[in-house]
Amino acid sequence: EDQVTQSPEALRLQEGESSSLNCSYTVSGLRGLFWYRQDPGKGPEFLFTLYSAGEEKEKERLKATLTKKESFLHITAPKPEDSATYLCAVIKAAGNKLTFGGGTRVLVKP
């Protein structure tokens, strides 16, 4: 059965303390893996798309990587404004719907 799972569920970091979020998937025919950031009461904000194993994308303090089984979102030297829920989602072989993985709530304390 297709599954997308994120870990940990929640992460508390000190400002400047780098860490990684995990998104593991067992999906037949992965067509794309997407990372979003969501603030309370807001819509998910698109961060990255990864299409094939070995691909990496970077934006400011964030870097996303993809293997055949999982994706990582690395947060380097985070700041309090990086506090948010980070969502991983996949598009499978058939259709264009996003299937989300549960999210990781990140809190960065000054």
Partner 1 sequence: AAGVIQSPRHLIKEKRETATLKCYPIPRHDTVYWYQQGPGQDPQFLISFYEKMQSDKGSIPDRFSAQQFSDYHSELNMSSLELGDSALYFCASSLGQNNQPQHFGDGTRLSIL
- State yes or no: residue 51 binds partner 1 (CB under 8 A): yes
Q: What is d(CA 82, CA 97) in angstroms, rounded to the nearest whole number?
A: 27
For the bound state, the minimum distance from the C-beta of residue 7 to partner 1, rounded and expressed in Å, comes to 14
**Among candidate residues 1, 2, 21, 22, the one with its CA nearest the CA of residue 13:** 21
Is the Cβ–Cβ distance between 4 and 99 less than 8 Å?
Answer: yes
User: Among residues 11, 23, 25, 34, which is the contact residue for partner 1, using CB under 8 A?
Assistant: 34
Handedness of CA 57, 95, 26, 24 (dihedral sign): positive
* Residues 4-33, mask of contacts with partner 1 (x by CB under 8 A): ---------------------------xx-
Q: Which residues bind partner 1 (CB under 8 A)?
A: 31-32, 34, 36, 41-46, 49, 51, 87, 91, 95-103
